[in-house]
Amino acid sequence: MNRNDSRPEPPETPSSFDDRLKGARERQGLQSARDTASADPLDRAGWGMMLRAGTEMIGGLAVGVAIGLGLDHWLGTRPLFLIVFAFLGGAAGILNVWRLVKP
């Protein structure tokens, strides 16, 4: 081999490929995955609000059931306080969600 032989060019850097890909997407009118995610109506804030509302509901109900079971075990009245405090805990969970979404 002599020095005049054409050698393949070194591979392009990732940044030049990203630039070419971005330019091609702009020419075709396509958006990147990050652009479409930010345009999504159910963004992260919405998901966070839904998760918090679900946690409030389940937490209120779980605390009510736990108090009811504890009182039933302590007083020896099997389903009475469980039912009463399950309803109270569910109502407290709904009230917490109402406060959360109230403007």
Q: Tell me the domain boundaries of the chain.
A: 13-41, 43-103
DSSP 48: H
Q: What is the mean pLDDT of residues 35-49?
A: 71
Helices (H), the chain: 14-28, 33-38, 44-75, 80-101
Report the pLDDT value the prediction gives residue 96, as an integer from 0 to 100: 96
Report the pLDDT value the prediction gives residue 2, as an integer from 0 to 100: 59
Q: What is the mean pLDDT of residues 29-54?
A: 74
Q: 71: exposed, middle or buried (C-beta count within 10 Å: 0-12, 13-18, 19+)?
A: middle
Report the pLDDT value the prediction gives residue 22, as an integer from 0 to 100: 84
Query: What is the pLDDT of the chain when averaged over all its residues?
Result: 84
C-alpha gyration radius of the chain: 30
Report the pLDDT value the prediction gives residue 55, as an integer from 0 to 100: 97
pTM: 0.59
| Better-predicted residue by pLDDT, 40 or 70 | 70
